[in-house]
A and B are shown apart, each in its own frame.
Chain A
Amino acid sequence: MANFYTDNKALKLHLQHPLMQKIVSLKERDFADADKFDYAPVDFADAMDNYERVLEIVGELCGTTIAENAESVDHEGPKVEKGRVTYASGTQQNLDACRKAGLMGMAMPRRFGGLNFPITPYIMAADIVSRADTGFENLWGLQDCAETLYEFGSEDQRERYIPRVCAGETMSMDLTEPDAGSDLQSVMLKATEMPDGSWRLNGVKRFITNGDADIHLVLARSENGTKDGRGLSMFIYDKRQGGVDVRRIENKMGIKGSPTCELVYKNAKAELCGSRRLGLIKYVMALMNGARLGIAAQSVGVSEIAYREADAYARDRKQFGKAIIEFPAVREILATMKAKLDASRCLLYETARYVDLYKAYEDIARDRQLTPEERQEMKLYNKLADACTPLAKGLTSEYCNQNAYDCIQIHGGSGFMKDYACERVYRDARITSIYEGTTQLQVVAAIRHVLTGTYAQLIEEYQKMEVAPELEAQKKILDEMFAKYQEAVEAVKAVNETEYTDFMARRLVEMAGDCVMGYLLVTDASRNLSSEDATVKEAAAELAKSAKVYVNLGMADVARNAAFVASVKPADMAEYQA
Chain B
Amino acid sequence: MSLNIIVLAKQVPDTRNVGKDAMKEDGTINRAALPAIFNPEDLNALEQALRLKEANPGSTITMLTMGLPRAAEVVREGIFRGADNGIVLTDRALGGADTLATSYSLAQAIKKIGKYDIVLCGRQAIDGDTAQVGPQIAEKLGLPQVTYAEEILDLKDGKVTVKRRLESGVETVKAPLPCVVTVNGTAAECRPRNAKRVMQYKYAASPSEKAKLDEAKLAVLEKRPALDVIQEWGAAYVDADPEQIGMAGSPTKVKAVENVVFTAKQNLTLDDNDEQIEQLIKELIANHTIG
Contact = CB atoms under 8 A, between A and B. Distances in A.
B196 A102 contact: yes
A38 B226 contact: yes
B224 A38 contact: yes
Interface in A95-143: 97, 100-103, 106, 115
B192 A57 contact: yes
B40 to A, nearest CB: 11
Contacts of A50: 198-199, 202
B193 A57 contact: yes
B194 A102 contact: yes
Interface string B93-136: 00000000000000000000000000000000000000000000
Interface string B154-183: 000000000000000000000000000000
A42 B197 CA distance: 16
Contact of B195 (A35, A38, A42, A115): A115
B199 A54 contact: yes
Nearest to B224: A38
B279 to A, nearest CB: 32
Query: Chain B interface: which size bin?
Result: 10 to 19
Contacts of A39: 196-197, 199-200
A35 B222 CA distance: 12
B210 interface: no
A196 to B, nearest CB: 36
A30 interface: no
A54 B195 contact: yes
Contacts of A38: 200, 224, 226-227
Interface in A32-68: 35, 38-42, 49-50, 53-54, 57, 60-61
Contacts of A41: 199
B220 to A, nearest CB: 6
Interface string B198-226: 11101000000000000010001001101
A115 B202 contact: no
Contacts of B192: 57, 60-61, 97, 100-101
Contact of A115 (B191, B196, B216, B226): B196
Nearest to A106: B195
Contacts of A40: 199
Given A35-B223, A42-B220, A97 B191 contact: yes
Query: Which interface residue of B193, B216, B223, B226 has the most chain A CB atoms within 10 A?
Result: B193
Query: Which interface residue of B191, B196, B198 has the most chain A CB atoms within 10 A?
Result: B196
Contacts of B197: 39, 102
A61 B223 CA distance: 32
Interface in A9-48: 35, 38-42
B191 A101 contact: yes
Nearest to A98: B192
Query: Which interface residue of A41, A42, A97 has the most chain B CB atoms within 10 A?
Result: A42
Contacts of B196: 39, 102, 115
Contacts of A49: 202
Nearest to A47: B199
A106 B194 CA distance: 12
A165 to B, nearest CB: 14
Interface in B216-250: 216, 220, 223-224, 226-227
A100 B191 CA distance: 7
Given A97-B192, A100-B191, A101-B192, A57 B198 contact: yes
B198 to A, nearest CB: 5
Contacts of B193: 57, 101
Nearest to B81: A100
A57 B191 contact: no
Nearest to A103: B195
Contacts of B198: 50, 53-54, 57
A57 B220 contact: no
Nearest to A60: B192
Interface string A267-296: 000000000000000000000000000000
Nearest to A35: B223
Contacts of B226: 38
Contacts of A115: 195-196, 199
A387 to B, nearest CB: 32
A103 B194 CA distance: 8
Contact of B194 (A35, A42, A60, A101): A101
Contacts of A35: 223
A101 B202 contact: no
B254 to A, nearest CB: 31
Interface string A399-429: 0000000000000000000000000000000
Contact of A101 (B195, B216, B227): B195
B205 to A, nearest CB: 14
A319 B22 CA distance: 36
Contacts of B191: 97, 100-101
Contacts of B200: 38-39
A97 B199 CA distance: 18
A49 B198 CA distance: 11
A38 B220 CA distance: 9
Interface of A: 35, 38-42, 49-50, 53-54, 57, 60-61, 97, 100-103, 106, 115
Given A38-B224, A38-B227, A50-B202, 9 more contacts: A39-B199, A50-B198, A53-B195, A53-B198, A53-B202, A57-B192, A97-B191, A101-B193, A102-B195
25 contacts: A38-B226, A39-B196, A39-B197, A39-B200, A40-B199, A42-B220, A49-B202, A50-B199, A50-B202, A53-B195, A53-B198, A53-B199, A53-B202, A54-B195, A54-B198, A57-B194, A57-B195, A60-B192, A61-B192, A97-B191, A97-B192, A101-B193, A101-B194, A102-B196, A115-B199
3 smallest CB-CB distances across A and B, nearest first, come from: A39-B200, A102-B195, A39-B199
Interface of B: 191-200, 202, 216, 220, 223-224, 226-227
